[in-house]
């Protein structure tokens, strides 16, 4: 019995010694060195960019435009069918003012193609008389283009044909000889040369040229 007690006591003592040995060992994590990994993220700072100033291009001024003026300044005034009455108007030629212009039909009758004309000068006026051909009995003479050429000091007068303004007339189907008298006056006096032109059934024909 004493031997069992001795063995039991020896076992108790041995267990205590072993427990003390294991107690002195470092427990995991008690004194272990803790490492902390720190990740540093570097943020790249963009280099300052130069701000470009907008450049405004001014449009170049257009070259000075030139308006070619003709050597001679002309003004054209179309006359109206007169049917025997007088036509008056005033037109500026740019260098000389057209003071008056008129045309009177003195006779109309069936006939043959005719282009006749004469030019006269009277009291500062240019007088024109002649005969032009119309296509039928309703045709009448009309004072057409009246132009003054400053460089040449020349007045050009065109007599043409048109329809009589009287409505309801039955037109005779025949070539008609139309007699007329016309006059033109310029504000600055008589031109150096006058040209009379007919524009009728046969086209355009110069019928007379005269100087004062």
User: What tens digit of pLDDT does each residue of 27-52 get?
Assistant: 444 444 444 444 444 444 444 444 44
Q: Is residue 30 part of a domain?
A: no
* Distances 119 to 63, 106, 158 between C-alpha atoms, Å: 48, 17, 12
Q: Is residue 45 part of a domain?
A: no
Q: Is residue 169 part of a domain?
A: yes
Domain of residue 169: give its range.
91-210
For β-strands 125-134 and 176-186, DSSP reports them as: antiparallel
Structural domain tally of the chain? Answer: 1
Q: What is the pLDDT of residue 135?
A: 92
Across the chain, mean pLDDT equals 70
- Residue-wise pLDDT tens digits, 118-147: 999 998 899 999 999 999 999 999 999 999
Per-residue pLDDT of the chain (212 residues; tens, 9 = 90+): 444 554 455 555 444 444 444 444 444 444 444 444 444 444 444 444 444 444 444 444 444 433 333 333 333 333 333 444 344 333 444 456 788 899 999 999 999 999 999 999 998 899 999 999 999 999 999 999 999 998 999 999 999 999 986 655 688 899 999 999 999 999 888 999 999 999 988 889 999 999 99
């Amino acid at each position: 019995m004493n031997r069992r007690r001795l063995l039991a006591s020896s076992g108790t003592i041995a267990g205590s010694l072993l427990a003390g040995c294991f107690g002195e060992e470092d427990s995991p994590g008690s004194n272990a060195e803790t490492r902390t990994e720190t990740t540093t993220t570097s943020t790249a700072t963009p280099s300052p960019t130069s701000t470009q100033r907008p450049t405004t291009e001014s449009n170049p001024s257009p070259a000075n435009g030139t308006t070619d003026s003709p050597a001679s300044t002309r003004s054209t005034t179309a006359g109206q069918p007169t049917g025997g009455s007088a036509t008056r108007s005033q037109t500026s030629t740019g260098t000389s003012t057209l003071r008056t212009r008129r045309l009177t039909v003195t006779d109309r009758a069936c006939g043959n193609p005719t282009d006749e004309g004469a030019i006269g000068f009277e009291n500062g006026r240019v007088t024109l008389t002649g005969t032009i051909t119309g296509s039928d009995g309703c045709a009448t003479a009309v004072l057409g283009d009246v132009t003054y050429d400053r460089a040449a000091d020349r007045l050009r007068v065109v007599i043409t044909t048109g329809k009589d303004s009287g409505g309801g007339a039955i037109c005779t189907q025949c070539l008609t000889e139309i007699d007329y008298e016309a006059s033109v006056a310029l504000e600055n006096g008589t031109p150096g040369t006058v040209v009379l032109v007919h524009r009728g059934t046969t086209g355009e024909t110069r019928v007379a040229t005269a100087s004062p």
